[in-house]
Amino acid sequence: MMMDGATEADLFLHCTDMSVLERQRAHLNYHHPGLDSTLAGFFSDSSMIHAGGFLGTAGLEFPVIYGETTMESESRLSISPEKITPASFGSGNFKKRKFDSVVTETKDLDEKKKKKKMRNREEVEVEVEEEEKSKITEQNNESTKSIMKMNKKSRKEQNDCSNGSSKVTKEMQKSDYIHVRARRGQATDSHSIAERARREKISERMKFLQDLVPGCDKITGKAGMLDEIINYVQSLQRQVEFLSMKLAAVSPRMDFDIDEFFAKEVVSAPVTNLANNVTPSHEMVNCCYPHEMVNSGYLHFNPMQQHQNCQAPSMWDSDVQNLYSSLGV
């Protein structure tokens, strides 16, 4: 069972996949302890092979590295000792892998590789953990399948199976963070996907703006819409300017009772008790600003027209005139 069929190089190439299988089996055992007996039945001939015995032979052949291999095997076994020892199969694979490494590498190279393997194993562990979280049943099915195939002792199939399981994990990892889908004919590299997401965001916001800005819903095209938005914002700013000026002119002492006003504003009724503070000169100012101008949505006011409408421009406060010119409209 240990050396049959496969070349050493082949085994070496798939050593990480082997560890995946090992893990899978460990999980399987963990979740279905009843399967242990069947496993034992399947591999009754090989399950009795003792790790120590094998290591003994390895140690005999390569006495220099013996200590290291035992160390690593111990560390490996310590992660899940009860799970791996009954599945002697996995540990057997592992031993073989050690054996390969012993054959091909020198001592210090071996150390480097060990580190690398540790890293690999960590990655695999992470993968397997994720798998465990999400698709336990599927994994169990797959691992049972793999066991059946291994029972036939066909190396290739085993490798394929392990590759398949690793593929599944990779696909699942991918599906975790990709949300943007490319339609037919669209580019799929990360930059274009990001750009597309950005554009979608902008168009979504622009739709909100269209709802907000009056008269903007009839305009198609981004440039026209932006134009309309700029106009609207400017008109609002001008309105604020104009209204504040008007307020300054209307209530010079600025002690109008906003609280009372607000109480009535909720009922949307006009307030009457503000007349006390008004000086008579401001009635003139009021007549200079026609009421409909204030109420119109857009306030593109025209000073020339105002002058024509005004019957007595000479009666204006010089202050107010200055203000008008300072508005720059």
CB atoms within 10 A of CB 85: 14
Query: Which residue lies nearer to another protein by CB, 145 or 282?
Result: 282
- Name the one range near another protein by CB under 8 A: 9-17, 29-37, 142-150, 262-270: 262-270
267 is a site residue for another protein (CB under 8 A): no
Is there binding between residue 227 and another protein (CB under 8 A)? Answer: yes
Residue from 141, 151, 163, 322 binding another protein (CB under 8 A): 322
Cα 226 to the center of its chain, rounded Å? 30
We find the least distance from the C-beta atom of residue 317 to another protein, in angstroms, to be 7
Q: Is 319 in the site for another protein (CB under 8 A)?
A: yes
CB of 194 to another protein, least distance (A): 12
Nearer to another protein, 71 or 258 (CB): 258
Q: How many CB atoms lie within 10 A of CB 242?
A: 19
Does residue 255 belong to the site contacting another protein (CB under 8 A)?
yes
Residue 269 CB, nearest approach to another protein (Å): 9
Query: CB–CB of 88/42 below 8 Å?
Result: no
Round to whole Å and give the CA distance between 253 and 277.
7
Asked if 246 is part of the footprint of another protein (rule: CB under 8 A), the reply reads yes
> Segment near another protein (CB under 8 A), from 52-60, 118-126, 132-140, 279-287?
279-287
Q: Which two tokens stand for residue 272?
A: 């009457």
Per CB under 8 A, the list member of 6, 219, 229, 310 interacting with another protein is 229
The site string for another protein over 191-210 (x = CB under 8 A, - otherwise) reads -------x--xx--xx-xx-
- 34 vs 221 by CB, closer to another protein: 221
User: What is the per-residue DSSP string for 193-219?
Assistant: HHHHHHHHHHHHHHHHHHHHSTT-TT-
DSSP designation for 185: T
Report the nearest approach of another protein to the CB of residue 202 (Å).
6
Among 224, 196, 195, CA closest to 210: 224
Residue type, 117: K
The answer to the question of residue 213 lying near another protein (CB under 8 A) is yes
Applying CB under 8 A, does 70 fall inside the site for another protein?
no
Report CA dihedral (107, 113, 119, 125) to the nearest 10 degrees. Answer: -90
Q: For 207-270, what is the HEC assignment?
A: HHHHHHCCCCCCCCCHHHHHHHHHHHHHHHHHHHHHHHHHHHHHCCCCCCCHHHHHHHHHCCCC
Asked if residue 293 lies in contact with residue 299, where contact means CB atoms within 8 angstroms, the answer is: yes
Torsion angle defined by CA atoms of residues 18, 19, 20 and 26, in that order, rounded to the nearest 10 degrees: 110
User: What is the per-residue binding string for another protein in 283-302, x denoting contact by CB under 8 A?
Assistant: x--x----x--xx-------
- What is the rounded CA–CA span in Å between residue 76 and residue 54? 16
Kindly state the tokens that stand for 125. 């562990």
Residues lying near another protein in the complex (CB under 8 A) = 198, 201-202, 205-206, 208-209, 211-213, 221-223, 226-227, 229-230, 232-234, 236-237, 239-241, 243-256, 258-259, 261-262, 264-266, 270-275, 278, 282-283, 286, 291, 294-295, 317, 319-320, 322-323, 326
